Structure 1
Amino acid sequence: MNKRRLFLQQLGLLSVGLGMAPTLLAQALNEQPSGELNSPEGKAAAAASITSVGLQLYTLREFIQKDVKGVIKKVAKADYQDVETYGYSVKNGYWGVKPKAFAELLKDNDLVSSSGHYDFEEYITKGDTEVIKQYIEAATTLGQTYLTVPFLAKRLRSKADDYRSLAEKLNKAAEICQSANLKLAYHNHDFELASYGKTTGLEILLKETSPALVDFEADLYWVARAGKKATDLFKEHPGRFTMWHVKDMDKNSPNLNTEIGSGSIDYKAIFKEARQAGLKHVFVEQENFAAFMDPFKSIAQSRDYVKKTLLRHT
């Protein structure tokens, strides 16, 4: 029996399948959608129990759109236990695979999906909540806990008031998610850390969204690209950064990624602050690969470093 199957059996997930209620899945993975464990103190305590490493499937975007089954099988072979989806549409599902079939594919490969990146632009610009309900349906089918806002178009972030408006909309969307026992999260890039007077877009979002409703997925590479320290964010906003995107910065070309542990970001220092951040889920992501590197060997190398080296610092 491989380690991934043992991991899931210990949680009792195989017997009930990935179609279980998100609340039950959340409890099994130390994920409480509400209550004391959603407080900063509870989130910090949960960091001590992290044992699995996830992969943001955008890392393999050039492959997964051509061969969904083959890529998922290779992700499992690289010893990942969790995947974060991207690119879902009501018409095409996940790269041409409908949610129910994709959930079965994950189950067959002993994988879970804790989070998904979903396009919220239509909601942000038009206030259409129907699209959120459609995302909730798909996420529930997969057993996901988080609906994550992945990106904010440039035209929607030209001034501080844009972020204040977004914060209000995130709170409303999060209430809809909460009613379905799901959680809303926001994923940053570097532009949220640009200054607007004495504040930044990310500071506005952190201060004007409800900690009980909205979590944040810290993309640690983009924080570093913005010239900021992730550890400072964790100290200033304890418990808010329950998910992390972990990708390293090439030492010679900061605009490029490299395998975790091979770049310039001091991840050992960052992982020491996992409890303060409230970390629950780690997702490896890499937006580019060196010409000589096999992407599937790359993700295995990064996974091993996170698992065997960095998680020991939490």
Structure 2
Amino acid sequence: MQATLKSISIGLLVLFCVQVFAQTKFGKVLKTTPGIVSYTFRNEFAKNVPQTLDNIKALGITNIEFSNLFGKTSTELREMLNDRGMICTSYGVSYEALQNKMDAVIQDAKTLGAEFVRVAWIPHTAPMDLTLAQKTVADFNSFGQKLKENGLTFCYHNHGFEFLPYQNGTYFDYIVQNTNPDYVSFEMDILWVFHPGQDPAALLKKYPTRFRLMHVKDLKKGVVGDFSGGTPVENDVTLGTGQLDLPKIMKAARKTKIKHYYIEDESPIAGQQVPLSLLYLKGL
């Protein structure tokens, strides 16, 4: 009985979201409905891609950042998106793919209709140091140049370990300041800025033209961060219920070049949390 009532309440919430987000303007701070990162519904996509797309659209979300093709070809995914009036604006790939399969990355990104190609992890076996930072800069400039030549924009998604102190700043500062802005842009994951002890709003103000994409998420209260780049997925909570100062962050983001915002919720109850996170963002 309790499970049935819970299912009904979630269904009503989804219906309410559809009605609310059908409006032209999403909210006061975030003007348009945010997208979603496919990883949020990774388990659902792994079982049934068409149904998962239908469920996402039922929430009023039509913009997806894919970081997995879930056993489909890019052509098949694009057809599914087209059939539903949905789009893919960013395509997430591995570092190894950019190093060794660049042509395939470019083809898939273009087929999906993505404008951005994103990587979210720098291979490493030890904490970030200058040698790794220098190699990262060289690789990013190379990746970005090749992608730009093919009409795509390269973005790096921070993951926490880049914020170890270096000189008067961090290794993340070093990477931003030493990459070519014509070739290299960034996707801010606000949880992975906050977790290692940084202020997302301050970082947005520091580099207002370098961030083009954002992952919007929140960190469970009481969780203590570090430079590991990892935290249990259960620590992803409904927006507005965790530690991050989202009103401050989102207002700062409005003054940057960020083009697309995506909700990313890695928790096992993302299906319950995402509708509530949407309502929170709309109410800002």
What TM-score, normalized by structure 1, do the two folds share? 0.75
Distance 1:156 1:72, change over 3 A: farther
Matched, 1:214 2:193: no
Give the residue type in structure 2 aligned to 1:234.
L
Determine the structure 2 residue equivalent to 1:153: 123
Distance 1:143 1:296, change over 3 A: same
State whether residues 50 and 281 of structure 1, in contact with CA within 8 Å, keep that contact through their aligned partners in structure 2.
no
Structure 1: how far apart are the matches of 2:242 and 2:162?
23
Determine the structure 1 residue equivalent to 2:283: 309
State whether residues 80 and 303 of structure 1, in contact with CA within 8 Å, keep that contact through their aligned partners in structure 2.
no
CA displacement at 1:172 relative to structure 2 = 1.3
Distance 1:122 1:85, change over 3 A: closer
Determine the structure 1 residue equivalent to 2:77: 102
Structure 2: how far apart are the matches of 1:200 and 1:161?
14
Structure 1: how far apart are the matches of 2:277 and 2:182?
32
Determine the structure 2 residue equivalent to 1:58: 39
Distance 1:158 1:249, change over 3 A: closer
Say which is worse superposed, 268-277 or 279-288, in terms of deviation: 268-277
Matched, 1:272 2:251: yes
State whether residues 78 and 296 of structure 1, in contact with CA within 8 Å, keep that contact through their aligned partners in structure 2.
no
Describe how 1:104-119 pairs up with structure 2 within 5 A. 104-119=79-94
* Equivalences, count: 254
Structure 2: how far apart are the matches of 1:269 and 1:3?
24
Determine the structure 1 residue equivalent to 2:55: 74
Percentage of identical aligned residues: 25
What TM-score, normalized by structure 2, do the two folds share? 0.82
Secondary structure of the corresponding residue to residue 175 of structure 1: helix
What do residues 205-262 of structure 1 show as CA deviations (whole Å, max 9, x unaligned)?
1001111221100000111111110122122212111111111111244551101112
Distance 1:121 1:200, change over 3 A: farther
Matched, 1:231 2:201: yes
Q: 1:244 aligns with which of 198, 204, 214?
A: 214
Structure 2: how far apart are the matches of 1:141 and 1:276?
31
Determine the structure 1 residue equivalent to 2:263: 284
Distance 1:253 1:165, change over 3 A: closer
State whether residues 221 and 249 of structure 1, in contact with CA within 8 Å, keep that contact through their aligned partners in structure 2.
yes
Determine the structure 2 residue equivalent to 1:11: none
Give the residue type in structure 1 aligned to 2:137.
A
Distance 1:122 1:68, change over 3 A: closer
Task: Give the gaps of 5 or more residues in structure 1.
Answer: 8-47, 88-93
CA displacement at 1:122 relative to structure 2 = 5.1
Structure 1: how far apart are the matches of 2:258 and 2:47?
33
Structure 1: how far apart are the matches of 2:155 and 2:39?
17
Task: Give the gaps of 5 or more residues in structure 2.
Answer: 1-18, 225-230
CA displacement at 1:132 relative to structure 2 = 1.4
Structure 1: how far apart are the matches of 2:103 and 2:33?
29
Give the residue type in structure 2 aligned to 1:180.
N
Structure 2: how far apart are the matches of 1:156 and 1:175?
28
CA displacement at 1:63 relative to structure 2 = 1.8
Structure 2: how far apart are the matches of 1:166 and 1:278?
23
What do residues 56-97 of structure 1 show as CA deviations (whole Å, max 9, x unaligned)?
11111122111111111111111112111113xxxxxx1111
